[in-house]
Structure 1
Amino acid sequence: MVGSSAMVGWIDNQGRAYIKQYYLSNQTSSGVKVDEGKLLTTDVPSAAVLYGDNIYLVFQVKFPLHIARQSVILAFSKISPNKFHLAEHDDKTTLSFDFSSGDSVSTYYPYQLKRNHGAFAIFGWGVLVPLGAIAARYLRHKDPLWYYLHVLVQFLGYIIGFAGVVSGIALYNRTYSNFTTHRSLGISVLALGSLQVIAFFLHPNKDSQVRKCWNQYHHWLGRICIFLAAINIVLGIELSDTNISWKVIYGAIISVMIISTTFLEVMMCTKLPKEGTCNGGLQMPTHHPNS
């Protein structure tokens, strides 16, 4: 956590033990400063001891005020520091330590929350939102069915995707995972999706002079949103270090959508050449009922 202090111990390749205090001034490697920090150590020598497969850190700190209970973050890395520069940790957990009794209560990693975050994001942004776009493009001969399907599926996808973002924020607040790119893409997808919802309520009449501009705005914003969502889902699966089943499931979803969309696109271009529906790439419908 930014602004916190950490006691770090390790055994180098020559078997020498080190224990150092670090100050985490920011989330960059240069912001992790060795031999700095706010922990007040006593005159009791600190030590790092290797016993079997375990490494033990021994140090004593003092506090200006009495503390009954304190939360502590425990993290480890498989890579030893290089010239006292720390590598990113591989895993972490937290515990609540009771100084009055010496007892500690472990706070386990919120795996269920992480699974919920992934499931909501995949089903909302990765399945329903693309299906809503597919319905708008390839079912327009079923007027007005395509429009109602498009709106219903897109809204449902947005709501479930929004739940994925909320669970992602809750997960970040629990784990403080430093996945800046994944978090930034998630915020971008939510912003684009929200703009699409706003655009729905502000769409101009089909006879309006700005309707053509609105169509381009609506279509391209939707494509960018779907594209970024797919990238972020893949990135999230990679970062989660989960089992292979998540990759297989989403890979199958993407494959089915690509194959189905390609087939539908070929069929539409073959059957409706006179309407110019294949010109300009993925041109979605420009009208809907009562507009």
Structure 2
Amino acid sequence: MAPAIVHWAAAFVLSAVSLTSPSQAATCTSQTFTGNRVYTFCNDLPTLNCFLHWTYSPDQSTLSLAFVGAPATPDGWISWAINPTDTGMLGSQALVAFKDVKDRMTVKAYNISSYSAPDNSKVWFQVKESSAEFVGGVIRLFATLILPEKGITTVNHVWQVGPSVTKGVPDKHFVQPANLAAVGILDLMKGQSTGGAGAGDAKVKKRNIHGILNGVSWGIMFPIGIIIARYMRAFPSADPAWFYLHVSCQFSAYAIGVAGLATGLKLGMESKAVTYSEHRNIGIALLVFATLQMFALLLRPNKKHKYRMYWNVYHHSCGYTVLILGIINVFKGLSILQPVNVWRKAYIGVIAGIGGVALLLEVITWVVVLRRKKSKA
């Protein structure tokens, strides 16, 4: 009985708020603004409970807008952006409204060139005027923009809400499905916003595929392949099974890794405004050393050959280089993708588990080898 009363009470409060606060109404058509601001078009954006109003003059290339949204917390921020080069957040030119250090509403323009702190540099459009107000739990962002090209009829737009501001700089937003889907294509003349979740989901899906392929190949399969070669061959009964298992595991890791690199290169071509140089360069180095490892199979001399020792140095050096670079680059990729924290913890758990197994096998192998030497002596 008590939970039912709480449920109905909560519903009543929410209904009362929606009636008393026009800014939080279910549709943009019921929203009104101070200063007799009136706009030609308005749209109920498909995610994050946000609304966009605008008037566009193609001859003057002037866009007047009002963006309304509730920040993730009362001390958070809201943002609306145009992306002139892509359909996602990276490369977007954003207007962000929040409370400054003096608790006054302010609007700043940012060039979103990375997933780290926003770049407070010159943006693609000219901001003629801007202001913001906090009313009834939502922030209203007002601005008049001059687009750099006349006659533009459609733009890629992005909207977002964030939880906090630190020292006058907006902090990162959440990465829930609603946040990731907050993109679309805005037809300035027809008053329509299309794309929405589909446009964002496509790019997110590509990034996730890239991350999974590389995480599984370089980050998991390659270390397992090294463990198979290092510890199974210490047991004569495992010969030659260990060799075929080792080759199969490393070749599969290489094939999956190449597919992961291909998806990464395609993502890079589709997002020319942003480049993750360090992550890309490590990925290229990984491919080079891993390819050398594949050639090692073809160049492998007989165990008693005089060049076998040099081949071992070459093979082991390339293998351990791929191992180290692969794990490092997986963490670099996680920092870029910023998935739910459970994925980072899961990968750390997997690597810790593989490391624990390797340590245990190292001890067992040394015990076996020392006993064998003692027996022969």
TM-score w.r.t. the length of structure 1 is 0.72
**SS of the counterpart of 1:59?**
strand
Residues 134-162 of structure 1: CA distance to partner in whole angstroms, max 9, x if unpaired?
A: 22222323333222222111010111223
**CA gap 1:176/1:129 in 2 versus in 1, 3 angstroms:** farther
2:102 is matched with which residue?
14
* Counterpart residue number, 2:358: 261
The match for 1:39 among 117, 125, 141 is 125
Deviations 1:28-52 (A, max 9, x none): 979642xx4442455xx42223233
Secondary structure class of the residue paired with 1:60: strand
The equivalent residue for 1:162 is 258
In percent, how many aligned pairs have the same letter?
27
Match in the other structure for 2:186: 97
Q: 1:196 aligns with which of 290, 293, 309?
A: 293
Range with bigger deviation, 3-12 or 57-66:
3-12
1:48 aligns with 2:132: yes
Which letter does structure 2 place at the counterpart of 1:68?
T
Are the structure 2 counterparts of residues 70 and 223 from structure 1 closer, same or farther at C-alpha, using a change threshold of 3 Å? Answer: same
User: 2:150 aligns to what SS in structure 1?
Assistant: coil
Cα distance in 2 for partners of 1:30, 1:273 equals: 58
- Could you say if the C-alpha distance between residues 37 and 134 of structure 1 is closer, same or farther in structure 2, counting changes exceeding 3 Å? closer
| Aligned CA distance change for structure 1 residues 60 and 245 (closer, same or farther; 3 Å) | closer
Separation (CA, whole Å) in 2 of partners of 1:243 and 1:89? 13
Q: For residues 146-203 of structure 1, what are the alpha-carbon distances to aligned partners after superposition, in whole Å with 9 as ceiling and x for unaligned?
A: 2222211101011122333334445564697776654544444333323322443444
Q: Which residue of 2 aligns with 1:282?
A: none
Question: Alignment partner for residue 150 of structure 2, among 49, 65, 75?
Answer: 65
The one of 237, 248, 252 aligned to 1:152: 248
Q: Are 2:205 and 1:122 equivalent residues in the alignment?
A: no
Match of 1:134 in 2: 227
SS at match of 2:219: helix
CA offsets per residue over residues 8-33 of structure 1, 9 Å max, x none? 43322433232344567999979642
- Counterpart of 2:319 in structure 1 is 222
State whether structure 2 residue 196 is matched by structure 1 residue 108. Answer: no
Alignment partner, residue 283 of structure 1:
none
SS in 2 for 1:272: helix
Partners in 1 of 2:137 and 2:283 — Cα distance? 39
Paired with 2:345 and 2:276, the residues of 1 have a C-alpha distance of 23
**How far does the alpha carbon of each residue in 1:215-274 deviate from its partner, in whole angstroms, 9 at most, with x for none?**
212102211221232233345446544445434543443343223322322232222238
Q: Tell me the amino acid that sits aligned with residue 65 of structure 1.
A: K
Contact residue 96 and residue 108 of structure 2 kept, 8 A: yes
Structure 2 residue runs without a partner (length 5+): 1-84, 175-179
Structure 1 unaligned blocks of 5 or more = 277-291
Decide which of 272, 275, 282 is 2:369's aligned counterpart: 272
Which AA in structure 1 matches 2:245? L
The question of whether the paired residues in 2 share the 8 Å contact of 1:9 and 1:18 is answered with yes
Q: How does 1:272-291 map to 2 (within 5 A)?
A: 272-273=369-370
1:284 alignment partner in structure 2: none
Question: Which digits, 9 at most, give the CA deviation of each residue in 1:66-112, with x for residues without a partner?
Answer: 122111244555454757xx556436743211112121122335444
Note the C-alpha offset of 1:210: 4.4
Compute the RMSD of aligned alpha carbons: 3.8
Name the CA distance, whole Å, in 1 between partners of 2:131 and 2:288.
49
CA distance in 1, matches of 2:281, 2:110: 28
Amino acid aligned to 1:95: G
Measure, in 1, the Cα distance between the counterparts of 2:91 and 2:358: 49
Of structures 1 and 2, the larger Rg is shown by 2
| Number of residue pairs the alignment of both structures matches | 270
* TM-score, normalization by structure 2: 0.58
Counterpart secondary structure, 2:186: strand
Measured in 2, the distance between the counterparts of 1:73 and 1:100 equals: 18
Q: Residue 71 of structure 1 contacts residue 94 of structure 1 at CA under 8 Å; is this kept in 2?
A: yes
Residues 120 and 265 (structure 1), Cα distance of their counterparts in 2 relative to 1, 3 Å cut: same
Cα distance in structure 2, aligned partners of 1:259 and 1:236: 24
- Summarize the Cα distance change of 1:190–1:119 in structure 2 as closer, same or farther, 3 Å threshold: same
Cα distance in 1, alignment partners of residues 295 and 162 from structure 2: 45
